[in-house]
Amino acid sequence: MVRFDYRGQKSLEIQKLRGFYWAVRCHSLSEAAQKIHVTQSAISQQVKSLEAELGVKLYERSGRGILPTPEGERLASYARQILNSMDDLESEFAELRARPHGTIRIASFRGIAIYHLPWIVKRFRRQHPEVKLAVASKTYDREILRAVSDGEVDIGLTSSWNEFADVEYFEILSYDMYVCTPLNHPWAEERHRLSLNEIAEQSLILYEQGTSIRSHIDSIFAKHGLTPDVNIEVGGFQALREYVRIGLGIAILSGLMIEESDPEVIYAIPVTDIFGKLGYGIVLRKGRYVSSAVREFMVAAGVPTQQIPTVV
């Protein structure tokens, strides 16, 4: 982290690395300054000082803002590891001084953020009113996984239909999958078991590309050599439900959304045998220290105590 040369003088101070790292992440000196609450000139001086110490050019300016040189990318990779370790160190030693405290930063998939997370927060706050929560609702799972991996947030809430490389997944919910039709659709009367071929032939309304639920559904169709008739892509359950209700097509949704829907608005047909169950859970960055506040939040979310680690 902080090293010393033979004269005993500090070099590559943490604050310099922090300033450089966020300048690269934000592609902007001014945005980086706002992020870590210093002046833009301070960030500029920190980066210049690093360049002088290392004897290399660390970034260049372009139409897209600050872009790292190859040497800058290398340093940013090291800086990320060092800064995450420093954050963990501070959190771990803070645990020695007090009860759960501080702020838990959470990035949550929008459906969970709207329909389930509030109840977790209520249970948690009842036991730990001194802990603050900062929740960011995200549209794409990759945004959540990146934020957790980079140490921008302490906890991610996302679906099981993801690849978890440098994060650990703890499932807290599991839902069946449903095909949803308007009430006047023939399937609402037939009540028969659907096949993937039948679904592919319908006019489909699905979540936008890039969401884990859409990627999983697409992969099931592709695995069976089918090209579904997707006429509408739209974000958010409420929009999907309304498009279905007025007869624009059928949608494929999880039980999380069905629980929140009025049965007099759309009709739901189980298709878990085709698409499998969809889980939702907490993700933590591998290798990080898990503070007591985060552990208590995981308990409130329903993770069994014996499954919660001190270090992921």
The domain at 177-276 falls in which architecture? 3-Layer(aba) Sandwich (3.40)
Per-position DSSP letters for 230-258, written without gaps between them: EEEE--SHHHHHHHHHTTS-EEEEEHHHH
CA distances from 275 to 163, 181, 215, 255 (A): 17, 17, 12, 12
What's the CATH number for 98-173+279-307? 3.40.190.10
Quick one: average pLDDT of 47-53?
86
CA atoms within 13 A on the CB side of 88: 18
- pLDDT the model gives residue 98: 56
Q: What is the 3-state secondary structure (H, E, C) of 104-157?
A: EEEEEEHHHHHHCHHHHHHHHHHHCCCCEEEEEEECCHHHHHHHHHCCCCCEEE
Backbone CA torsion sign across 212, 24, 282, 262: negative
Could you read off the pLDDT of 84-131 as tens digits, one per residue? 888 777 776 766 555 677 899 999 999 899 989 999 999 999 999 999
3-state secondary structure of 222: helix
Q: Which of 19-23, 89-93, 97-101, 274-278 has the lowest mean pLDDT?
A: 97-101
Domain boundaries, the chain: 3-82, 98-173+279-307, 177-276
Residue 6's pLDDT is what? 35
Place of tokens 């990320």: 80
**CATH architecture, domain 3-82:** Orthogonal Bundle (1.10)
Q: What is the pLDDT of residue 228?
A: 95
At 58-84, the pLDDT tens digits run: 888 887 788 888 888 888 888 888 888
Contact (CB, 8 A) for 116 and 280: yes
- Residue 207 CA to residue 211 CA, distance in Å, equals 7
| pTM passes above 0.85 | no
Q: What is the pLDDT of residue 9?
A: 42
When pLDDT is cut at 50, 70 and 90, the band that residue 293 belongs to is very high
Contact 244, 266 (CB under 8 A): yes
Average pLDDT score, the chain: 88
Task: Please tell me the predicted confidence (pLDDT) of residue 97.
Answer: 56
Topology alike, domains 3-82 and 98-173+279-307? no
Tell me the average pLDDT across 302-308. 93
Mean pLDDT across the stretch 209-222? 94
